Every structure is written in C-alpha cells, then in structure tokens.
Structure 1
Amino acid sequence: MIGKALDRVDGPLKATGRAPYAYEHQEAGRPLCGFIAGATIGKGRITRIGTENAESAPGVHLVLTHLNAPEQGPVDESAMDYWRAQPVLARPDIHHFGEPVALVVAETLEQARDAAARVEVGYDTARGRFDLDARQDGVYTPKEVTGGLPADTEVGDFDAGFDAAEVRIDQHYTTPYEFSLPIEPNACLAEPRGESLVLYTSCQIVDAARASVAATLRMDPGQVHVVAPFVGGGFGSKLSIHAETILAAMAARVLGRPVKVALTRQQVFQLVGMRPRSRQRVRLGAERDGRLTAIAHDVLMHTSPETEYAEQTAATTRSLYAAPHRLTGHRLTPLDLPRGADVRAPGEAPGLLAVESAMDELADALGMDPVELRIRNEPALDPERGVPYSDRHLVDCLREGARRFGWENRPAVPARLREGRWLVGYGMSAAIRGHLQAPTAVRVRLEPDGTAVVLSDMTDIGTGTYTVLAQVAAGGLGLPPERVRIELGDSDHPTSWGSGGSWGAANACTAAHRACGALRAKLLEAACGDTGSPLYGMDPAGAVFADGVVHIGGASEAVGAIAARAAPEGTEAEGRVRHMADDPHYSDYSINSYGAHFAEVGVDADTAEIRLRRMLGVFSVGRVFNPKTTRSQLLGGMIWGVGAALEEEAVVDTRSGAFVNRDLAGYLVPVHADITDVEAVVLESFDGRANVLGGKGVGELGICGSGAAVANAVFNATGIRVRDFPVTLEKLLPGLPPADS
C-alpha cells in the first residue's frame, strides 16, 4: 500500500462537517465563551484596571486579570521550547501590543466580546523598541539557533578567499515579518473534571501542549488530558500553545465549568508569534568558470527581550554548495514585539530567498546559465561537516526541471522578451531542507475480527497523516485499508513529537511499520506453533501477508482467524523511533531533501503588475508514501514561496508596536487568481539512512527556494533586482525599461 495514491481516509468526515476541530467539540455540553482583551500600548505597565462595567454586563461569569489570576509556574529555560510554561496575566508588565490584559467569560461569545471592550485599563507607557532598522545597539550573538545548531560557523579563511576571487557578489537582502495564519485560528475548549482537566485544543504536538499547560497551571501532567484529533493547519503556529489555551484552562478551573476561547484573526497577529524580520548579507566569491571559492551568509533578526528566538536562517547555506572558504553567522536585536516563532520552513524559507537570489546575481555577473552554475558547485561531501550525503539528487532535480520546463528558451539577457504589453522572464532556484528525526511511539492493535487499530498522539494538521498511517498499517499487516482504523491526537495514546519540522509522517510511519513487524512476528509464532492452524510447523521466514490472509507456501489462513484463536481479547505491539542525536546515521551522514524550482512571470510594462504564468518544482524526498498527498504538500509550499516573493509583509507601526495590517484584507497571501499553472514532480529515490522506509520530509520543502525562483524571474523579465522582499510594483515602477527598449 505504501506508494499508492490513496484518497484521504478522513476526507468524508471533513467534507460532511463531521471532523471536530477544537472549538467544535460537544462532549463538554454547552460551554461558556471567553474573549481576550489586549493591551493598547506596546511597552509599559498597567497602573489601573477597572472591571466593574465588564462584570456587570449581561451574561458575564468571570473577568480574569493579573490581579485575580491564579498563580502560575515560571518559564523554565532548561525545558524544551514547546514544552515550557507559558504564563499569561501573571504580571502588570506589558511587553508588546495586544498582550492579554484580561479574559472575559460569558454565556455567549457576543456577550464576552462586548464586555471585554468595557474593561478599563490605565498604563504607564514606556518608550518601546519597535524598528529593526533604527536599532544599532543591543545586537548580540545567541548561544545557538533553532534546532540546537551553532550560531556561527567558519571553514577555511573566508576573507582571504573572497578577496582573491575573480568575481565577487556582496549584497544585502531583507525579508519582512511573516505569519502562519492557518484556516483554523488557535482555539481551546477546556473542561474541568474534578482535579483533572480535558483540553480540546488546536495544537501540533500533543505532548508539548500537555506539559506546557501542566507546568503553567502547576498541575500533575497526568491530570491534563489533551484531545486534538483534527487540526485545521498549523505551519508552526501551533507547535507551542498560546494564551487562548492557558486562559481557557485557567477560567475552566476557576469556574468549574467548560470554557472555550478562540483567537480572532487580528489577535493571531499579536499573540501567536511570527517569522522574524531579517537583514541578510550574502557574499559569494567565484572564479571565472563559476566555481565558488568563498561563501558567507550573515543574518540579523529581531528577538523578544523576554523569550529568545533565533531562526536558523543561515544554516541552510552550510550544506548547499561547495566552496573551500565559508562563513555563516546569526545576530539578534531585542525589540518590544511578539516573540519570533517557527513559520513553515523556518530558516530555509528566508535564507534561501537571499542565497538563491545571490546565486542568480552571480550567474548574471558571470554571464553563465543559473542551472549550470549550481551544477558546477555540487559538493562531493557536506562542505562544513565533511561527511557524505545520504542520498543527494539535487543535480538530477536541476536537470530534469530544466528539461521539463523548457529552460533553454530562457532569455539570456534580461528585459528582452516581450509579449504585447508584458515583459516575460524565467527564473530558477535550488532547494534543500534538512530531514529531522524525533522520538515517536505508535501502538498497533489487532482486534479478534482482524481489524487493526493504530494509536498515537501524533496530530494531523491537514497533511494526510490518517491516510499514510493507514497505508503503512495496511501494507504491514496485509490488510485492505478499510480494515484499518487510525486514532490520533490523544494524550492517552503513545507519545510522539507530533506534526512539525516535516518530521511527522516519516517518524510516525516508521514507528507504525516497526509495530506491524512485531505484530506479524506474534501472529506467525502463534500460527506456526498451533496444531489447529493450516500453517502449523511451517517456516515463518517465507510468510506473505496479503488481502487479509497469511500465506506460507501453498498453505494460508486469514489474519483474523489467527488473531481470534491466539488472542481472543486482541493483541498489540508498539514501534518506536529514537531521537536523531542517538542515531548514528544522522552523525555519519548529511541527510536532506532536495528540489529545484522554475518559474515564468509576466510583468506589465506600464503598471509593473506581476503575474505568475507557470511554475514547476522537481523534488527528491526519498520514498513517497502517498503521491497524492505528497504533491498537495509540495504545491502548497510552492504557493507559499510565491506569497513570500510577491505579497506577504506584516508592517509594524513604529510608534506603537502594532501590526497595522493585522487581517487578511491587509496582509496579502496568494489566492486562486494569483496561481495558475503550478506543478510538482517527485523523482524516484530511497534513502535508507533516513529511516527503514526510505522516506524524508515533504511539507516544508516546497517553500524552500521557491520565492527566489519567482524573484529571479522578475529580474529576468525587467532587469531590475529587488532585494527588499516582497517584490512589489512600487519597487519596480521607477526602473521599468521604456516601451521601445
């Protein structure tokens, strides 16, 4: 079953509205509704808070502020980020605009929202730091960046290598604040049950949500039950739990009644965290033949003074291209803004936007084909770690992509191809994404009727986890998919690291595969040792599980019959995956997924309107579990790249620290009219060093580098290089070539 384009097994539930999301669970009866009141300043301290008008409003049951909120646990910096306490309403201090100052709980959402507007707050306003460009002081080097990677690396002598290079590129690129913005806003329904608490919450890692809530509310983790069977998108925004979950849990315990809280779309911009704005300097030194001799990538980004976040933006550069002299570094500047957070393809998405733009600039300076430049700099070993690659097919992606796209038709000279009023250009980029492995456990239970049940706290954030797990279990036990039931997103199930970092499917499927192997061994031992079985006395080494039947030689018996006789109450086994730090493959090899993006754009010669005409991505991700869900994930990532290149930008009011375009009317993302002919192709491969199934992460690879392909196509169309992303018409208009050029 692995590798088949199986339709989503949870599709009918979602299409008919029967898949319950966090805010929709009915198990708790009719809950009360909470609404968060946020600070209207960006920095300072609450000096007065009046709740009388809110408390007397119709339907109100509770108004929580820092004055009456229960005591909460402190943030433990030694704990892993997503598992830490997340105190809310703990102090009168205001660290950023929109920070919660009160939670109002009422009979209805409308009553709670109306009453929240009646909370009166007085502030002692302090001067905030909101502008990255204006901050010249306070810059520092973090101890490490996300993923435990070193903040800085150095190989060889970059300065000497760069100075000696025949051709040099030294450019600065900026990327804006960006947000995840899944369709389902962050939400939680909290139900108290005696001393325990049930949380129906929108989260990507169930175990992290459980630990974080327990640490915050000073509870035994065993008293916190997290339920998240369906999550309406995450993209990193639900790796940690946020204010809505803590406040719903807190209010439910105070009132002894179920309480649900959901963030509005505008509140998501202030309370969930975002991709930090970055200023990146990329330096490339090369010989005239295009071979890189020196490469440096330096990044400055914002961080919260309260909670450090260092996106690994320059880390991608460490494994991508060969060059003997290398330098990467990350620096942080504290700003009084919401904390930085993982947003889809953290590090790779903004980092490759800069590096792959710089590679295009180098190709232009050399007069060389951008595809050939990249192929010429293909490394034999990981250039910084000095270890071999596990399964690298980047050159194959580049060549196959160029062939399929018709890259030979690309205008060699920018701004030379016209179709009526449209300037037409081609662009491309390479893609790389590190493959990660995290501790994961999956239990597979075989019922007496031959039905298999797969259990894990693993979440499905819309990526198809239910489907690929059903395929693995069906293939592993020789059952049709309809005889496999998947139960996910429950903290009572075996623990995983959930969905994030593109590790979810590979980890969960590998663990399920191992559990099925253990179950097969149990069934064969029972059947081959049972005189009542047709398989008695036969060699289990030749067994084949298919269509619900075990075959050995010419004999066979139904899986259900063996299970019913050997284990009338059912039998089960558990499979596990260990952390990559404990797996020698991850220290002995550089394990990544790869791709190549190609884009064609049209730019209106009069208005500078940019239109994506077509886009192709060719990828190498090891073994594909489901071609249909894989293609969907890659296309979605590619479209994210289009947004990063042309549209997405959250703008800060540097007087208040508020995001001025904090809704989907002002924060632009691609819509159907923006995306026309987009295709993703996956090359056949198998990476046995990544895991026994040979598959690697997919979900974030599609965005890696895709924005640079679009931006490079804009340059090819117009001859204008925009290094301040996104590329918008006001940045192109002044430099557009005249109509007769």
Structure 2
Amino acid sequence: MTAQPGLPFGAPAARVDARAKVTGAARYAAEHPAEGLLYGVVVPSPIARGRIRSIDSRAARAVPGVVEVLTHENRPPMARFDLLHKDMDAPGGSPFRPLHDAQIHSDAQPVALVVAVSFEAARHAARLVEVHCTAERPRSDMQRLAIEARKPSRLKFGYQVPPKVRGEPEDAWDEAPVKIEARYRSPAEFHNPIEMHASTAIWEGEGQLTIYDKTQGAQNSRAYLARVLKLRKRDVRVLCPFVGGAFGAGLRPGYQLVLASMAALKLRRAVRVVLTRQQMFSFGHRPETLQTLKLACDTEGRLRSVVHEAVSETSRKEDYVENIVSWTGLLYNTPNLRLAHRVVELDRFTPTDMRAPGAAQGVYALESAMDELAQAVGLDPLALRLRNYAETEPGSGKPFSSKALRECYARGAQRFGWSRREPEPRSMRDGRTLIGWGMATGVWEATQIHGAARAVLRVDGTLEVGSATTDIGTGTGTVMSQIAAATLGLPLAKVDFSLGDSRLPMAPVQGGSFTVASIGTAVQAACLKIAAKLLLMARAQGDTPLRQPRLKDVEFVNGLVRLRADPSRSISLRELMQRAGAAEIEGKSLALPNLMKQRKYARATHSAVFAEVRVDEDLGLVHVTRVVSTVAAGRIVNPRTATSQIEGGVVWGIGMALHEEGLVDHRLGRVMNHNLAEYHLAANADVGEIEVIFVDERDEVVNPLGVKGVGEIGIVGVAAAVGNAIFHATGRRVHSLPITLDKVLGLD
C-alpha cells in the first residue's frame, strides 16, 4: 500500500496549529490558569564559585504577599544519589540539582526561590534577599586553560569516541608537497528562544502534580522530576502542548521545573516559575571550542593526511562532550587520519545541545580548512571537495544508505552561478564594496530512535492519533497528521494529532532530527494496523466489492479502500465499519529501528551551502546578500515546513558567523552580555535572500518512511561558507568566530 498523488504526504500543507498560534489560543507553559496560583522568582548566586555562608530573607518575607522563601535549608526532600535522577540527555557525571546544598558551581546559579501571590511582589522581594558567600576565583578562561585539557572519561549518550589512527598522518603531513595548519575558535553561544524556560506546577492533592513545562520531552521531564523529588511516576503528569522554540535548550529539564514543583509540594498550591531573559544565560549553552586542523594533499589536490583536534568546555560536575571531530572522518577520503577530542573543566553551568551540536562547530573548522587548502593548491574549492569525494564511508568502507551530495553540489552551484566566480581574492567588487563567494559542505547523522503511537479511527471518518513527542515549532504536529492521513487516505482536516503529554505513548526527547523518522514511523505503523483490521472486516463480510483483499493489493484514497488493479472496486471506510458494527478501530505501535539492516550502512544527511557577501572595504562591514542551501535529506514529508527549517538554520548560521558570542569577564566568571541588547543575533537587516533546494532521495534503510530529518542540517556549513566568502572578498582569513568588523580590518 502506498500513498497516492493528491494525498497530504509530501504536500506543502499549512501548519495544523497555525490559527491557534496566531490568534493566541495556543497556551504555553506560563499561560495556563490555575486556582490559587502563586508566582516564584529565582534569586541567583552573586558569585560563580564558592559557598553560601548564610541567606537573609527577612526583608523579603516582610513584603506583603510573600508566602515563602525556599533555600537549600528548607526545601522539600531531594534524592541523594546522582544515579537516581539522570535525565534522557544527561552527560556523564553528577548533574546539578537546584537548592541541593550550599555549594556554588556557576554564575547566576539559583540559590533561593521567592514565592508570592503576585509576580510583582515576588520579583520585588527577590531583590531583597541577601546572599552571603565565601568566593573562590572561578575557572572560566578556556583558551588559557586549554593546556589542561583531558580525554572525557564519562561519556554522554550518543558521543562517538574518535576512531583509531589510520595510517601515518603526521609523517604523511610532513612529506606532502601542499599542506596547511590552522587553529579555529568558536565561542560559547546561548539559546534565546522566544519562550523562556517556564513551569506551572499544579498541586492535585496527595503528592500529585500536573505540570505545564517548557520542554522537548514531557516524559523525560516527568522521569527526572519523579527521581529528584522521590515521587511516583504515576503521580506526575507533564504537558507541553505548545513550545515556543527550544533548539536543544529544552532537552534537559530546566531548574525552574524542580523549583516550581518543590514549591507546589511544600505549599500545596499551584506555583509558576518563569526565568528572566538574563537567567536564560545561566542554563546550558553551545560550548566554546578550540580546534586545530592539519590538511595535506598532493599537487593535484588529493588528500594525503588529515589531523583534526578539538578542545571543548565542560563543567566540573559533568563531562559534556559533542561529536565535533567525527564528521571529519565521514566526508572525505584520506589514507591517513587522526581525530582527537579533549575537554577542559570550567566553573560554568554544563553546556547543552544546541542546533546541530558538534557538527556546527566541527564542520565549520573542517570546511574552513578545506577552503584554505584549495587556495594553497590552486584549486576551485568545489573542485577540491569533488576530488576527495567519499563514495563509501571512509575507514569502514560501508556503503551509504543514500548519498546525493554530488547532486547537491551540482544543483547548488548551478543555481548560485558558481561557474562565474573569479578565483582570486579581492577580484570581485562593486565600487568600494568587495564581493565574495564561498561554499561549504554540510553533514548530519540520519537516525531512528524507538517510539510509540496510538491511532483510533471512528466511524464518522475522524482519526485520532497520539504520541508523547513534542513540537518545538518545527511543525511536528502537522507532519504527523500528514503521515496518518496519507496512510489511511483521509483528508488532513479529519486527523487530530495529540502530543506533548507524558501520559501518551512513549516518545524520546525531540532533538537530533530523528523525530519524524522515529515517531512518524510509529504513526504510520499504528495506522497500518487499523488498515489491516479494516481488511479483516472486509473478508469477514464476504459481500464487499474487495473479495479477500490483501494489504499490498489495496490503496486508501479519499475515505475509500479500493483495489489498486481495479479502482472501481471500492468501499468507503464508513460503510465498512457500519457493516461490521464497529464504532471505532484502534491501532498501537512501538516502532523500533532495524539495527540488523542499518549497521550494514553508513547513514547521513548531506548539504551544500553557497554564500555571497558584500564587504565595505573601508569599514569592514559584512552583509550576507545570498545563500543557496541544497539539501539531501531523504523523503520530504512537508516541503513547506522543511523549507522553513532550513531557512531558520541558515539565519542562525549567519548569526554564528557574524554575531553570536557570549562575552565572559574571567575575573567574575560571568557572561556580561546576558541580554538581547548586547548578545547580538541576526536580524532582518542582516539576512539577504535564502533559497532552499531539496534533492530527492529514496532511502528505506534509515526507516520505513525514508525520511532523514532537516532540523539540524540547515545550520551545518553555513558559518564556514560565509567565512570562506569573506576571505574571497577581502583576502583576509579570520579564524575566530564571530567575524566582526575589527577582525575583517585586521584590528583584532
């Protein structure tokens, strides 16, 4: 059975939740009403490292309307052992627990929660809490401390240990006729979604809580909270029907979740805690990295040696690691390869995943170095990449389940006009404006995680489908509805997809671009079980036009099930169910990845990014005027939402290249630009024309739907393409992000 032309699968459908969002009907975590609601405001630590001597809350408690001031001294009981409260996305080590003890581990750590009958009273009182500490000098300067880097010993789930050294990379580099060595820095970046971290915890009696949380995993938040506060899972319900952006910030439960829940348990009232924009800079971030690339090739541009070493930050409590260098072993053929990754412990909150974690930084360095090598050997940057194209996975020799990267290069170059590029730097200009063209490759993993779904078809033709997955603004609800509608041949308007509820069928956290591959497969499988039951009904009745149909011989179209060989022989789903006396039919599915099949292949999503910049020769101002992103991401369920995802990734990549940087005062261990006025993001004026092209791939190795995911790949390679374009425009190579005007002018 296959979806037919005209069905919603593959159509650019509008979001099913669009009206609710634009009219304000969609309620986010801090917008759900509750009887007797109290408001909590977090009191941050005044230091980055040390210990609390005392907390004086007398002035705060005297403010009218203040109900309680929670600290480590009067909080409800909390689990003692770290292993009891791991979350699904936790790195190895000892996770932070708010108000656990008097120790200060990072700047702006929550040390108290003021709870009052109004937000205004709580905010005012929070400023009156006096926190007396014994301070220690914090470790926050990663560049200075990089010499102390060590191998990570407590590995995060999904981290790929760099492979063994292949060949003799150092000797081959020494002997090669053409070689480059460069060091790249990417700074800490901070999540700034529109919706800030928020939790509304509602006391339901007898230790039961209903919580509306800003999260990318309702069941993950529930499991974490139950372990930390020693509750039964069945007594905790977490809901997140709408999420105002997350980008990885919501993968790990935020500390406001624990604080709101502790206050609700202690006071037996509903409590809401919303972090301020400044406090959003105190919970996770993209880690700062230092990377060294050594590339060598022969005189024709064939790679002879690749060495990629990365150092990234982690906290003292956990070993946070990302796959920074692994991508270098996937993209290009070389007989000699060495990859290494080390971490530096800092007195900062543990970093967390941010869109395309690891790849955003690692591919930036690799693709910048490839551009430098192209310049050194005298080859066009695209020609160098094609000359070293990997038809199979380097090292293992496994075939790719699908790889349309060559077509990405070809179509992107043609659309961008790459053949008209003048090779010499500073050779393209418009008066006093220098014009540069740069390109880069992108890569991301194609993964399926186990997940479940439930579907119920009713005799009136409506289909209810549900899974505990979330929608962080990517259009998940729309895509799942499309998959369900296509599978049973129903109009999209007849499908109601429920998500963001920990009581729904099991789902992993939403991240890594695996949600559609995982939950979409479960949705399809649940609907196929309904289809199979419908055909059993047809066989049992005997007098239907189908006559002993088999699933592979029929198709579901426009509310009908009909024979593929003879579409005139059909029956409506409504009539079939009425004949059988069935008011509804249920299908449940737990979709598991086919590991036996998958392990025989390398699986990845690929892209080619082409960028044009215009640089003011006198002022060093850079404007990205055009980006063409060509993506091979398997089957595209909804081109409209998928295009939006890639466009958003490109915008963020421009911000990574030119704007975003957390600036730390190392005397204080504090991020000083913790606001949207001084933490620069790409705005409308910074973004030119973006064109997205999808290259069709058919790949049923990754999952039965053949999808690979587009959430992460959009940002990968963009910063490198922009940086390479700036070099082409100016002849100046900048190795440190963001590329600000002082660096362009050589004043840094």
- TM category, shorter: over 0.9
User: How far apart are 1:52 and its partner, in Å?
Assistant: 1.1
State yes or no: 1:634 paired with 2:646. Answer: yes
User: How far apart are 1:418 and its partner, in Å?
Assistant: 1.5
2:685 to 673, 696, 711: 673
State yes or no: 1:121 paired with 2:131. Answer: yes
Alignment of 1:246-261 (within 5 A): 246-261=258-273
In the TM superposition, what whole-angstrom CA distance separates every residue of 1:65-87 from its partner, at most 9, and x where no partner exists?
Answer: 01101221232289455369752
State yes or no: 1:542 paired with 2:548. Answer: no
User: How far apart are 1:645 and its partner, in Å?
Assistant: 0.6
Alignment of 1:448-597 (within 5 A): 448-531=459-542, 533-535=544-546, 537=548, 541-552=552-563, 553=566, 554-566=568-580, 568-578=582-592, 583-597=595-609
Kindly indicate whether the alpha-carbon contact (under 8 Å) linking 1:25 and 1:200 is maintained by their aligned counterparts in 2.
Answer: yes
Match of 2:318, SS state, is coil
Q: Which residue of 2 aligns with 1:68?
A: 74
Kindly indicate whether the alpha-carbon contact (under 8 Å) linking 2:467 and 2:500 is maintained by their aligned counterparts in 1.
Answer: yes
Structure 1 residues 220 and 86: alpha-carbon distance in aligned structure 2, compared to 1, 3 A threshold: farther
State yes or no: 1:23 paired with 2:34. Answer: no
User: How far apart are 1:534 and its partner, in Å?
Assistant: 4.7
1:100 to 100, 107, 110: 110
Alignment of 1:695-714 (within 5 A): 695-714=707-726
User: How far apart are 1:169 and its partner, in Å?
Assistant: 1.1
User: How far apart are 1:452 and its partner, in Å?
Assistant: 0.5
State yes or no: 1:435 paired with 2:446. Answer: yes
Kindly indicate whether the alpha-carbon contact (under 8 Å) linking 2:46 and 2:108 is maintained by their aligned counterparts in 1.
Answer: yes
Kindly indicate whether the alpha-carbon contact (under 8 Å) linking 2:84 and 2:227 is maintained by their aligned counterparts in 1.
Answer: no
Kindly indicate whether the alpha-carbon contact (under 8 Å) linking 2:90 and 2:156 is maintained by their aligned counterparts in 1.
Answer: no
Q: Which residue of 2 aligns with 1:190?
A: 201
Kindly indicate whether the alpha-carbon contact (under 8 Å) linking 1:411 and 1:716 is maintained by their aligned counterparts in 2.
Answer: no
AA partner of residue 434 (structure 2): L
1:426 to 427, 437, 456: 437
1:109 to 88, 105, 119: 119
- Counting aligned pairs with the same residue, the percent is 39
Structure 1 residues 86 and 226: alpha-carbon distance in aligned structure 2, compared to 1, 3 A threshold: farther
AA partner of residue 709 (structure 1): A
Kindly indicate whether the alpha-carbon contact (under 8 Å) linking 1:146 and 1:311 is maintained by their aligned counterparts in 2.
Answer: no
Structure 1 residues 513 and 350: alpha-carbon distance in aligned structure 2, compared to 1, 3 A threshold: same
State yes or no: 1:89 paired with 2:96. Answer: no
Q: Which residue of 1 aligns with 2:624?
A: 612
2:152 to 112, 129, 142: 142
Kindly indicate whether the alpha-carbon contact (under 8 Å) linking 1:82 and 1:241 is maintained by their aligned counterparts in 2.
Answer: no
**Structure 2 CA distance, aligned partners of 1:416 and 1:541?**
60
Match of 1:486, SS state, is strand
1:46 to 38, 41, 52: 52
User: How far apart are 1:664 and its partner, in Å?
Assistant: 0.9
In the TM superposition, what whole-angstrom CA distance separates every residue of 1:477-534 from its partner, at most 9, and x where no partner exists?
Answer: 1111111111111111101113101111221111111111111000110122115645
Q: Which residue of 2 aligns with 1:327?
A: 338
Kindly indicate whether the alpha-carbon contact (under 8 Å) linking 2:452 and 2:590 is maintained by their aligned counterparts in 1.
Answer: yes
In the TM superposition, what whole-angstrom CA distance separates every residue of 1:192-222 from its partner, at most 9, and x where no partner exists?
Answer: 1122111100110122111111111111112
**Structure 2 CA distance, aligned partners of 1:571 and 1:528?**
16
Q: Which residue of 1 aligns with 2:411?
A: 400
State yes or no: 1:130 paired with 2:136. Answer: no
Q: Which residue of 1 aligns with 2:5?
A: none
**Structure 2 CA distance, aligned partners of 1:75 and 1:178?**
28
Match of 2:133, SS state, is strand
**Structure 1 CA distance, aligned partners of 2:541 and 2:37?**
54
In the TM superposition, what whole-angstrom CA distance separates every residue of 1:527-558 from its partner, at most 9, and x where no partner exists?
Answer: 22115645455566532211111223433222
Q: Which residue of 2 aligns with 1:239?
A: 251
AA partner of residue 54 (structure 2): R
Q: Which residue of 1 aligns with 2:43?
A: 37
> TM-score, with normalisation over the residues of structure 1?
0.96
Match of 1:415, SS state, is coil
Kindly indicate whether the alpha-carbon contact (under 8 Å) linking 1:145 and 1:312 is maintained by their aligned counterparts in 2.
Answer: no
**Structure 2 CA distance, aligned partners of 1:190 and 1:179?**
26
User: How far apart are 1:719 and its partner, in Å?
Assistant: 0.2
Q: Which residue of 2 aligns with 1:739?
A: none
Alignment of 1:257-406 (within 5 A): 257-270=269-282, 272-406=283-417
> TM-score, with normalisation over the residues of structure 2?
0.95
User: How far apart are 1:146 and its partner, in Å?
Assistant: 5.4
**Structure 2 CA distance, aligned partners of 1:231 and 1:430?**
31
AA partner of residue 507 (structure 1): S
**Structure 2 CA distance, aligned partners of 1:592 and 1:505?**
15
State yes or no: 1:715 paired with 2:722. Answer: no
**Structure 2 CA distance, aligned partners of 1:538 and 1:155?**
55
Structure 1 residues 81 and 75: alpha-carbon distance in aligned structure 2, compared to 1, 3 A threshold: farther
Match of 2:30, SS state, is helix
User: How far apart are 1:561 and its partner, in Å?
Assistant: 2.8
Match of 1:382, SS state, is coil
**Structure 2 CA distance, aligned partners of 1:688 and 1:340?**
34
**Structure 2 CA distance, aligned partners of 1:639 and 1:421?**
26
User: How far apart are 1:151 and its partner, in Å?
Assistant: 4.3
Kindly indicate whether the alpha-carbon contact (under 8 Å) linking 2:195 and 2:243 is maintained by their aligned counterparts in 1.
Answer: yes
Kindly indicate whether the alpha-carbon contact (under 8 Å) linking 1:71 and 1:90 is maintained by their aligned counterparts in 2.
Answer: no
Kindly indicate whether the alpha-carbon contact (under 8 Å) linking 2:333 and 2:389 is maintained by their aligned counterparts in 1.
Answer: yes
Kindly indicate whether the alpha-carbon contact (under 8 Å) linking 1:457 and 1:498 is maintained by their aligned counterparts in 2.
Answer: no
AA partner of residue 236 (structure 1): G
User: How far apart are 1:564 and its partner, in Å?
Assistant: 4.1
AA partner of residue 173 (structure 2): F
Structure 1 residues 539 and 197: alpha-carbon distance in aligned structure 2, compared to 1, 3 A threshold: closer
Kindly indicate whether the alpha-carbon contact (under 8 Å) linking 1:34 and 1:248 is maintained by their aligned counterparts in 2.
Answer: yes
State yes or no: 1:600 paired with 2:600. Answer: no
User: How far apart are 1:323 and its partner, in Å?
Assistant: 0.4
**Structure 2 CA distance, aligned partners of 1:572 and 1:180?**
40
**Structure 1 CA distance, aligned partners of 2:599 and 2:56?**
57
Structure 1 residues 537 and 351: alpha-carbon distance in aligned structure 2, compared to 1, 3 A threshold: closer
2:171 to 160, 164, 175: 160
Q: Which residue of 2 aligns with 1:409?
A: 420
Q: Which residue of 2 aligns with 1:657?
A: 669
**Structure 1 CA distance, aligned partners of 2:96 and 2:576?**
50
Structure 1 residues 537 and 700: alpha-carbon distance in aligned structure 2, compared to 1, 3 A threshold: closer
**Structure 2 CA distance, aligned partners of 1:735 and 1:307?**
37
Match of 1:404, SS state, is helix
User: How far apart are 1:576 and its partner, in Å?
Assistant: 2.5
Match of 2:664, SS state, is coil
**Structure 2 CA distance, aligned partners of 1:30 and 1:18?**
22
Match of 1:91, SS state, is coil
In the TM superposition, what whole-angstrom CA distance separates every residue of 1:21-74 from its partner, at most 9, and x where no partner exists?
Answer: 111112x33511110000010100000111111111111111100110122123
2:217 to 187, 198, 205: 205
Match of 1:734, SS state, is coil
Structure 1 residues 457 and 136: alpha-carbon distance in aligned structure 2, compared to 1, 3 A threshold: closer
AA partner of residue 556 (structure 1): S
- Number of residue pairs the alignment of both structures matches: 732
> How large is the Cα RMSD of the aligned pairs?
1.7
Q: Which residue of 2 aligns with 1:58?
A: 64
In the TM superposition, what whole-angstrom CA distance separates every residue of 1:295-321 from its partner, at most 9, and x where no partner exists?
Answer: 111001111001220121111112011
AA partner of residue 374 (structure 2): A
Kindly indicate whether the alpha-carbon contact (under 8 Å) linking 1:446 and 1:563 is maintained by their aligned counterparts in 2.
Answer: no
**Structure 2 CA distance, aligned partners of 1:646 and 1:4?**
35
Q: Gapped runs of 5+ residues in structure 2?
A: 1-7
Deviates more, 1:362-371 or 1:543-552: 543-552
User: How far apart are 1:584 and its partner, in Å?
Assistant: 2.2
Kindly indicate whether the alpha-carbon contact (under 8 Å) linking 1:82 and 1:212 is maintained by their aligned counterparts in 2.
Answer: no
User: How far apart are 1:337 and its partner, in Å?
Assistant: 0.9
Structure 1 residues 215 and 538: alpha-carbon distance in aligned structure 2, compared to 1, 3 A threshold: closer
Q: Which residue of 2 aligns with 1:175?
A: 186
